[in-house]
Amino acid sequence: MAEGSALVLFSGGQDSTVCLAWALDRYARVETVGFAYGQRHAIELDQRPVILKEIAARFPAWAPRLADDHVLQLSTLGQISESSLTRDVAFEMSAAGLPNTFVPGRNLLFFTYAAALAYRRGIRTLVGGMCETDFSGYPDCRNDTLQSLAASLSLGMDTAFRIETPLMWIDKAASWVMAKSLGGDGLLDLIVQHTHTCYTSDRSTQHPWGVGCGTCPACVLREKGWEQWQTVRS
pLDDT, tens only, 14-57: 999 999 999 999 999 999 999 998 776 788 899 999 999 999 99
8 A C-beta contact, residue 199 and residue 40 = yes
Is 70 exceeded by the pLDDT of residue 79? Answer: no
Strand partners for 194: none
Q: How many Å apart are CA 209 and CA 176, to the nearest integer?
A: 10
Is 70 exceeded by the pLDDT of residue 92? Answer: no
Is 60 exceeded by the pLDDT of residue 200? Answer: yes
Average pLDDT score over residue span 229-233:
85
Is 60 exceeded by the pLDDT of residue 1? Answer: no
Residue 16's closest CA among 3, 28, 4, 30? 30
8 A C-beta contact, residue 139 and residue 130 = no
Average pLDDT score over residue span 195-200:
90
Is 60 exceeded by the pLDDT of residue 89? Answer: no
Question: What local confidence, expressed as pLDDT, does residue 188 receive?
Answer: 97
Fold for the domain defined by 5-233: Rossmann fold (3.40.50)
Question: What local confidence, expressed as pLDDT, does residue 157 receive?
Answer: 97
Average pLDDT score over residue span 125-133:
92
Q: What amino acid occupies position 168?
A: M
Q: Where are the alpha helices (DSSP H) in 99-198?
A: 106-121, 143-157, 172-194
